[in-house]
Structure formats: C-alpha cells, structure tokens
Amino acid sequence: MDAKNTFEYNSVNYKEFLKKFRDLGDSEHTLIVYAGPFTTNREAALDELKREIIGEAVIIDLAEIVTPYEEESYTNIGNCISSIDEKAPLVIFKNAEQLNGVYTGFTGSAVKYASPQEKYFLRKVHKIKAPVVLEFKEFDQLDRMVVRKADSVVLFKAPSSLIEKLAWKVQNVHVHGSHFLSPRPH
C-alpha cells in the first residue's frame, strides 16, 4: 500500500486531505477509504467528516446489502444507491469488507482480485454526487482495485505507545467468539 493516495491518520497528508475535503463543492464526488484496526481513531475521523458537512450523513451497512449471491447483491446495491438522496452531503458505507466475499487458502493463485460484487459496487458508487466513505476494519481486506479507485486511503494503524497498546488490547478482547475475517494474500 505505497500508493500516492494512501496516508496515515493524523499525518501531514491527512491534514491536507481535510483541507481539500472542506473545500469540496456541493454535489462533488470523491471516494475515501478508511481502513485499519484502530476503531477509536476511525470513528473519530468519521465524526470529524460529519462535522464538516451541512446536513445529516447517510450511513449504510453493507452487511445488510451484500449477499453471497451475485444477482441478489447487484439488485440490492442498485436499489441502495438509487435510493440515496441527490442532496446527501456525505455517504458512509460501513463494513465494506462484505464486498470481498470469502477467500480461502485453497486456490492456485496468490493474488486475489476484486469480487464481482465489489466491481459492481465501485462502478455504481461513482453515480453518487457526494463524498463517499468506505470503511474497512482491517488492512488485509483492501485490494488493489479499491486503493486504485479511491481518491484517498486513510490508514488507522494500531497504537504504538505502551499505554495506547494496553488500552487498545483491553478494548479488543473477545470472550465468547470473534470475527473470522479471511485475509487477502499479498
């Protein structure tokens, strides 16, 4: 992920990104990807974007739209995007990793490509005349196509100081169960 459009949260490039976001005109499309395990910072950054807009952000959970069945997902994605108000100031798609489908190690290819649902979604999302945020919970759920299509990719890396690490680990403890994300091979 060394693309020119990729930078870390609270970096100099992130501050420049915020300035550009503030200068966006009404009905101007931009695709922003938020990715990384540091949920606290990711949520703070989303709140920061929401404060910069006039009006209410549209929040959509892709876990409720994308299914394992391509045709059903296409219909759901099409209906979802066409139902978004033209005057929406910001659209946030949570759980963007749902677009990836499930990847296993039982394949001959070491390189994974975008799923059909993901390709369809990225074609359709450009019709939204507002800034769009795709939120990924983990880095390994991003693929090259999303990074290439995005105007900005903001990374939310795990904390580095001892106190932050301790607080972060306590916050992310799962007692009864866990999330079983299937990482993309690099």
pLDDT in tens, 95-115: 998 888 554 455 555 555 678
pTM score, whole prediction: 0.79
In the chain, the number of structural domains is 1
Looking at residue 59, which CATH number applies to its domain? 3.40.50.300
- Round the average pLDDT of the chain to a whole number and report it: 82
Domain encompassing residue 127: 6-171
What is residue 29's predicted lDDT score, i.e. its pLDDT? Answer: 87
Alpha carbon distance 65, 79 (integer Å): 9
In a domain, 16, yes or no: yes
In a domain, 20, yes or no: yes
What is residue 142's predicted lDDT score, i.e. its pLDDT? Answer: 83
54 three-class SS: coil
Give the DSSP per-residue string, 131-159.
Answer: EEEEEESSGGG--HHHHHH-SEEEE-PPP
